[in-house]
Amino acid sequence: MDEHRISRGGVPMVKINGRKIRELREAQNLTQLYMATTVEVTTDTISRWENRRYPSIKKANALKLAEALQVELAEILDEEEKTSQPPVNMAEKVPAASAAPEITPPTAALGSRKKPLALIAAIGIGIIIAALWWWQSPYMNPRISAQRILPAHSVPGRPFPVLLRIKNTGHAPLSFILREYIPAGAQVILAHSAAAVTVDKKTGSLKCLGRIKHGELTLGYVLKTGRSRTAVLKLHGTITSRRFGGRPQAITGNSEVKMLPFHWADKNMDNRIDDQEILAVYDDYSEVKGLKIDMDLIEDIWFGSGYSWNAKTGKFIIKP
């Protein structure tokens, strides 16, 4: 039986060993959510695969499963999925009895030996060079990092946006866990995201389980503080990938927001939002869908001649 079958739609299919997949996952303390995120399917699909409700799956998904479990594809295939070698035709191995041995002059034999040796040496050097290049390339040395982008200041009690820009310099996809530790008393308002983002009810920290291909992925949330905040709000977080032994790396970028009576979009704190400042808001924050930054208020301030902050009412007063 071939290692893979072809479905009616022409898609390569393989038979998997659900029990083996579950054992490998549990041995590595991996959750079905992690597997689903890595393979880009639902947790219900992972459960069905492990319980052999779908014994045959797409070979592309099986390869992703093997990569997530860090094993070869053959280790998660069903025992029936073994390639059978074609029988050897023994007649082809028996030399013809009538063929007379060819006699090669000594000088010709010496020259014929040198050519294969030179060719083998050249091929070997080429393989070594290619291996060194591959080892140093982004394919084998991917780097994942996270950078925080947030305003330099904000009004106490008013929400402001926070962006987390994740970057993968390698060409191989990487799964990651991002943790953002939120100060006590602050409220997180999540935006719509393709990654699994949740807020820990016990600690108030933000957790994200995702997978990134080559390039950048931007996540965002809105942080709302209480009115009696300290003068400076500090944030910190980490990003972790299994490729680096599970060692958390600190999120770089901005980490402090000063509590001042100026709107966060008013970068130069001149009590107005000018053309450059509103364009910066659109450029920096429009890439995250569902980020609630109150664009109506920002546009109203931009349309007006200025604004001021009323600490008693907790509202901005817009000048016509």
In the predicted structure, residue 242 carries a pLDDT above the cut 90: no
For 72-113, what is each residue's pLDDT tens digit? 998 999 877 545 334 434 344 444 444 445 555 555 555 555
Domain spans in the chain, listed from the N-terminal domain onward: 10-76, 144-319
Residue with the larger pLDDT of the pair 238 and 101: 238
Averaged pLDDT, 283-301: 90
Residue with the larger pLDDT of the pair 253 and 86: 253
Query: What pLDDT shows up at residue 290?
Result: 83
Q: Per the structure block, which two tokens stand in for 275?
A: 């053309």
SS3 label, residue 43: helix
Q: Per the structure block, which two tokens stand in for 76?
A: 């998660």
Q: How many Cβ atoms sit within 10 Å of the Cβ of residue 46?
A: 24
Q: Inter-axis angle of helices 59-69 and 32-39, to 10 degrees? A: 130
Which pairing describes strands 315-319 and 153-154: parallel, antiparallel, or unpaired?
Answer: unpaired
Query: What pLDDT shows up at residue 303?
Result: 94
What fold, for 144-319? Immunoglobulin-like (2.60.40)
In the predicted structure, residue 271 carries a pLDDT above the cut 70: yes
In the predicted structure, residue 35 carries a pLDDT above the cut 70: yes
- DSSP letters, 257-310, are EEE-SS-TT-TT-SSS--HHHHHHHHHHHTTSTT----HHHHHHHHHSSEEEEE
- DSSP letters, 279-292, are HHHHHHHTTSTT--
For 191-237, what is each residue's pLDDT tens digit? 766 567 788 877 778 888 888 888 899 999 999 887 765 789 999 99
Query: What pLDDT shows up at residue 114?
Result: 59
List of residues 6+ apart from 305 with CB closer than 8 A: 272, 319, 320
Query: What pLDDT shows up at residue 255?
Result: 94
Rounded distance, CA 207 to CA 288, Å?
Answer: 17
For 128-165, what is each residue's pLDDT tens digit? 776 665 555 545 556 889 999 999 999 998 999 999 99
Whether the CB-CB separation of 307 and 263 falls below 8 Å is answered with yes
From the centroid of its chain, how far is CA 5? 30
Average pLDDT, the chain: 81
CATH number assigned to the domain with residue range 10-76, chosen from the 4 options 3.30.300.90, 1.10.260.40, 3.40.50.2000, 2.60.40.10: 1.10.260.40
